[in-house]
Chains A and B, each alone.
Chain A
Amino acid sequence: MTHHRKPDEGDDPLDPLVERATMLLRRPEAVRPAWRDELLARVPTARTVRRSPMRAWVPLAIAASLCTAVGIGRLSARSGRDRVRFSVSAPSAKAVSLVGDFDGWNPAAVPMRRGSNDVWVVDVRLRPGRHVFAFSIDGALRVDADAPRAVEDDFGVPGSVIVVPERRSD
C-alpha cells in the first residue's frame, strides 16, 4: 500500500504548528526486541494448515474455508481416487459438518471430527465430477472469499466448488 497521502481529498492545508506536530507524530515507534520475541512465540504455528502439493489426479479446484465468530478456518481438500479429505480450522467451533449437493445440504449427514490443532476433518467418497459444498460451523454456512465459487446459489450462500476427476486406469 502506498503511504503517500493523496493530495486531492479536500483537506485544508495544515497550520504550520500542527504540521510540525504531525511530522513528529509520524516518527515510527521503536520495536522492543522482547516485544517482538514474545509476539512471535505466541504465534500458533501448529495451527497453520499447509497447502498440500497437488497431484496429477487431485481435484482441479480446491475450495475454501471460513470463519466468523468461531475463529478462522482454512480448508484443504485432497482427493485420493474417489476419496476426498476436507479439513477446516475452526478452533472455537462446537460442531462442524460438511454440506453440499452430495448430501442434500444436510448438516447432520456428514459431521466432521476435531483433529489435532483444532482442524476439523472428514473423508468422504465422491463420485467423479463437479460438486458444490460448504461448511456448517455451529449452524452457520461458510465458504472462503477467494475459493472457487459455484455460480448457483444452492443454499442461500454461494458454495465452493470441487471437481473430482475420473479415476485413472492404472
Chain B
Amino acid sequence: MTDAELVRGTLDGDTRAFTELVDRHAPACLRFATRMLGDRADAEEAAQESFLRAHRALANYDRRLPFRMWLFAILVNRCRTAMAQRGRRERRLVVDTDALALSFVPDESRALELRSEIEWAVAALSAEQREAFLLRHVEELSYEEISQTTGAGVSALKMRVKRATERLRILLEDGTEAKVDDTP
C-alpha cells in the first residue's frame, strides 16, 4: 500500500493506516532527529511531535508531494524549534548506549568509538550545515527536495553541503586535535 493510500485511509478514520505510516517512517525520522539534535530523548520528542502534527494537518497534505518529504518538512521545523529552545545549553554529544546496543554489530568497542567520533564531528557542524548534510547524504533527498523541505535555495544548500563535507573530513582526520581546538 502506498503512502498516499495510507493517508487516505487515515483521513477516512482507519487508525491502522496511520500506524503503518508511523512504522514506515519512524526509523528515518528518529535517525534524522537524533543526528540533528545529538540527543536521543530530544529526538524522540521531536519525532513524536512531528507525527502528531502531521496527523492533525493530514487534511492539508498536498498529495503531489511525497509524504516522506512533507513529514520531513515538519520534522526539520521541530528540530529547529528544539534547538532554539535549548538555547545556549551546551551542545551535547551523547553516545546513546541503549540505541547502540539495539543497532550495533560485531566489534562493539571499535564501533562505539567510531560512532562516537562521527557523532561528535557531526555535532561540531553548524546547525545549517548539519541539517543540509544529513538531508542530502544520510536521508538522500535531492537538492530540490531539500529546498522544499527547508525553504533554503538550492545554491545555498549545495554550498552548505560542500562546506559540511570538507569540515567533516578535517574533523574526522584529526579528531583529537580538532576537539581541543573547538573547546570553548
Contact = CB atoms under 8 A, between A and B. Distances in A.
| Chain A interface main SS type | loop
A28 B28 contact: yes
A161 interface: no
A67 B59 contact: yes
B127 interface: no
Interface residues of A, number: 51
Nearest to B104: A27
A44 B26 CA distance: 18
Interface stretch (A5-13, A103-111, A123-131): A5-13
Contact of B103 (A10, A15, A30, A38): A30
A3 interface: yes
A136 interface: no
B138 A30 contact: no
A29 B56 contact: no
Contact of A65 (B12, B59, B66): B59
From B31, B56, B161, residue with most partner A Cβ within 10 Å = B56
B13 to A, nearest CB: 4
A100 interface: no
Contacts of A74: 11, 58-59
B178 interface: no
Nearest to B119: A25
A48 B103 contact: no
Contact of A50 (B12, B48, B52, B99): B12
A157 interface: no
Given A9-B143, A21-B118, A30-B102, A38 B48 contact: yes
A1 B59 contact: no
B26 A67 contact: no
Task: Report the interface size class on chain B.
Answer: 35 or more
A31 B26 contact: yes
Contact of B13 (A6, A9, A50, A72): A50
Interface string B16-44: 00110011001110110011000010011
Nearest to A39: B48
A113 interface: no
From A14, A29, A35, A48, residue with most partner B Cβ within 10 Å = A29
Given A15-B165, A18-B165, A30-B102, A146 B62 contact: yes
A24 B118 contact: yes
Contacts of A65: 59-60
B56 to A, nearest CB: 5
Nearest to A65: B59
Contacts of B162: 11-12
The 10 closest A-B pairs by CB, nearest first: A1-B66, A74-B59, A28-B27, A30-B102, A29-B30, A50-B13, A21-B118, A5-B140, A15-B169, A29-B31
22 contacts: A3-B139, A5-B140, A11-B136, A14-B165, A15-B165, A17-B169, A24-B118, A26-B140, A28-B31, A30-B103, A31-B27, A31-B30, A32-B44, A38-B48, A40-B19, A48-B11, A48-B13, A49-B13, A67-B59, A72-B56, A73-B59, A145-B60
Given A21-B118, A29-B103, A36-B22, 12 more contacts: A4-B140, A5-B137, A9-B142, A11-B165, A24-B114, A28-B103, A30-B27, A45-B15, A50-B13, A74-B11, A74-B58, A89-B59
